[in-house]
Amino acid sequence: MNSDNSDDTIDADSQDEPTDTRSERVTSAGEPGVQSLAANRTLVMAVGVLIALLGIVAILAPFVSGLALTLVFGGLLVAGAIFHTASAFAARGWSGFAFGVLLAVLYGIAGVALLANPTLGLVTLTLLLGIYFLVEGLVQLLMGLRIRANSNWGWMLFSGIVSLLLSSLILLEFPSSAAWAVGLLFGVNLLTTGVAMASLAMAATPEAAPTATGPVGETRT
């Protein structure tokens, strides 16, 4: 009687063991996101390299890249004006019709102004960028001081200091900083993004799919 119970226990353990072994063999390569990245690693790497190269070009020619960003931003504002106009007239009975038309007019004026005089638009964007970094730096400093109980509060403080330094560089040299600020920072962002994408693609090497076999030496009867 005891012999039968012990045999049943051994059989149950032998049935559970392959499942445990399979779960231990599942690695990050089995995750859908990682599998997709590994399958398209060449494309992702190529896109990352292209973005990084565009970032280098923007860094080397910050004024030209800043003007290009101004034109793109102006075009987006004009497109937004067209969209708001179409939306407003499509729902003319809506109580916010006048507000929608006014918003479309503002978008259109700002977009046309940027397209007509991109240099002046670049100066405006530079001023807004300097104010943004100033506000962001102050907020991050206050946040870092308030979360001092967190062991990593220093990183928030460091980020705030960096933002304040960037704001000082832009605002203290304004308006001459318009020649480099927007294009340079945009180029740095493109460069870091491209390098990150290429690095992820290089690390995502295709691996063999996890096997569903049980432990070596397991026999079934």
Q: What are phi and psi of 210, to 5 degrees?
A: -60, 135
Q: Are 140 and 163 in contact (CB under 8 A)?
A: yes
Position 48 pLDDT exceeds 50: yes
Taking the CB of residue 63, how many other CB atoms lie within 10 A of it?
Answer: 16
Q: How far apart are CA 212 and CA 209, in angstroms?
A: 9
Position 208 pLDDT exceeds 70: no
When pLDDT is averaged across residues 17-29 and rounded to a whole number, the result is 46
Position 160 pLDDT exceeds 70: yes
The confidence score (pLDDT) of residue 207 equals 57
Could you read off the pLDDT of 71-90 as tens digits, one per residue?
A: 999 999 999 889 888 887 77
The confidence score (pLDDT) of residue 202 equals 79
Alpha helices in 96-175 (DSSP H): 97-116, 118-146, 153-172
**27-41, 87-101, 118-132: lowest mean pLDDT where?**
27-41
